[in-house]
Every structure is written in structure tokens, then in C-alpha cells.
Amino acid sequence: MGIPAKQKVRIGAHIIKQLLLGHQRFPLVLMIEPLFRCNLRCRGCGKIAYPEETLNRQLSVEECLSASKECPAPVVSIAGGEPLLHTDIPRIVQKLVAHKKFVYLCTNALLAANRIDEFQPSQYLAFNVHLDGLEERHDAMVGREGVFQHAVTTIRLLIKRGFRVTTNTTLYADETPESAARLFDFLTSIGVEGMTVAPGFCYPDAPDQENFLNRKTTRVLFQKLFEIGRGRKWRFNHSSLYLDFLAGHQNYECAPWGNPTRNIFGWQRPCYLINDSFAATYKELVDTTKWHRYGVDKDPRCINCMVHCGFEPTAVMDLVTHPWKMVYSGKRNQSHLAKHSV
């Protein structure tokens, strides 16, 4: 199926509007983290290492809607923590959908089957299920047996009930192109709409500090993965140029303002992955963050980062302003692998 045409058109129109208004920094995706509490402790996650009093805090429905009004992104990704632990998450989703935001509800799927009746299928809502590998690997990464099978059962249930379903996969240094390809073959076979993929970011609080890819190993992994994928009908939720970037065929600078993050502390600076400080409003985040201090050649924490929340906006802008690049990218990566977001 790929990304729905209506969503592509909305994103494209949003970009053109921002460019015509002369805006240099504008968002494509708003990241909302309504809570940090989770029901898993994944090996590569650095998002939940907070004291109990922090894990007990949540954004209200009104705070989530206010963030969406402040930030004009057409797409909202609700992350965490595990969003389905939030009592009011159905209301948050319902209100965002009512405002015609394209919502991706990120989940490990452990609670989705129990709460499915609290949501209504919509072209504006997708459940984005976390799967970092096939059964043995995924269960090892999340630290609990049976999670993979539970997630797959839930994906099939969601699809049967008419929901859009996508997946989110993070790759690490012990991943092989062959095992990643088997995962993408499987996800394609069960009918997911699209797959998000990225190398893991080296969170300082992640339990596993030895298994993060660097820039060189990321490029080698994705080059080999895309070679294996030639002729296969994989559907990625990425622009073709971001996939090119992962394989080392494009050089991009990070655009962290393209995916601003609102969580219980405020608007996170500078990005979803690094929390140096927090702004009280979206405008304050954009206008006062010292963006020039961050990036691959400027901040050591950014050296090996190739995550989509920073580099996808740059790739999308490059594709919009240089559309002929899609032709060359398609020849290199076999463009039928990806249903492009723009």
C-alpha cells in the first residue's frame, strides 16, 4: 500500500508553503512523548532511565493538543516510554486526528490488543510497532520472551480491524544484512504498510553500550542490505535519499528542527536524542536554540548519528528542491524498495 497519497500531498504542500513564506527552519514531524514510563527495558534504549517521580509524570490531553497547535507539522509521532500506558492516550489520538494530523502511535504492542476498542480506524492514524528483529533477536533486545510473537499477533489483529500498521526497527552492530533482510521479508509478507529503519543512537544511559554502529559500519550494513533487497517489494517510510544517505551515497547535515520534541519537561533541545535543555514554547525552541553548535563535525555526541529524526528532514528537502535526484537514487537503490514520503 505505501504511504497514502493524501498524506504525501499534505506533506508536500506543507513544505512548499513554508518555503514560500521564507522559513528556513520548519518542522515536518512533531514528536510527542506524553510519558517516559515503559513496560520493557530494551538494551539500546536510553529514554526511560529516570527516577520514579519522573516516570509518574504525564502530559495531559490539553498539553499534547497545545503542542500540536504551536508546532505546524502535519505529522505527529507519539513516542515514549510506552504511550499505551497513558490512560488518556485514546483521547489524545482522537483529538489530533480530529485536527487532521497524521498520527503514528509508537508501541511495543504489549497492550494494544487490550486497548484496541478504544481507537477507531482512520486514514490519519497508524500504529507503529517496534520490532528490532525476528523472534529470537527481538526478544533478546527487549529482554523478555514472547514479545515478538505477541507483536506479530497484534499486527495481524490491527490490520484485520482496519487500522494502518507500520513498524519501527533499530539496527545495531551485531546485526547482519541477511537477518535484517529476513525481518523485512517477513514484515512485508504480513502486510505492514511501511517500515521505518535506522541505526541505533548511542544513548549514554542505554544498558548495552558495546553494540552501537558507527558511521562506517552503518554505511557498510545498509549497502549490503540494499544489495540483498534488490527485486524485493520492501516498503520503507523514508525518502529514497535518506536510504541513499544510510548507504553512504549522500552526505547530509542534521536538521533537528525538522522533528522537534515535546515531552514532560518542555521542548527538548536540540533534538529527540539529546536533551541539553528545554524551551517553554516551540517558538522559543526554534528562535533561541544555538543550532550551529550541533552536528557531526561540531558535537562529539553527533559523530556517529544517522538517525532519521535528524537527517530525514534534510533528505526530504533535498528531494523537494532537486527532484531529479530521485532518478539517480532509484537506479542505485532500486526505488521500488521504498514508497517515498514525499
For the chain, the domain total comes to 1
Residue 47 lies in a domain: yes
* The pLDDT value given to residue 340: 40
Closest CA to 261 of 274, 251, 248: 274
Cβ–Cβ < 8 Å for 319, 241: yes
Residues in the chain, pLDDT under 70: 1-2, 46, 205-209, 327-342
Find the CATH number of the domain harbouring 292.
Answer: 3.80.30.10
* The pLDDT value given to residue 331: 53
Give the type of residue at 194.
G
Residue 261 lies in a domain: yes
Residue 156 lies in a domain: yes
Enclosing domain of residue 311: 5-337
Question: What would the DSSP string read from start to end of 130-142?
Answer: E--SSHHHHHHHH
Cβ–Cβ < 8 Å for 67, 110: no
Residue 342 lies in a domain: no
* The pLDDT value given to residue 20: 94
> 138-154 pLDDT, tens per residue?
999 999 999 999 999 99
Cβ–Cβ < 8 Å for 198, 305: no
Residue 311 lies in a domain: yes
* The pLDDT value given to residue 336: 40
* The pLDDT value given to residue 337: 47
Residue 75 lies in a domain: yes
* The pLDDT value given to residue 321: 84
Q: Is the dihedral of CA 13, 288, 67, 110 positive or negative?
A: positive
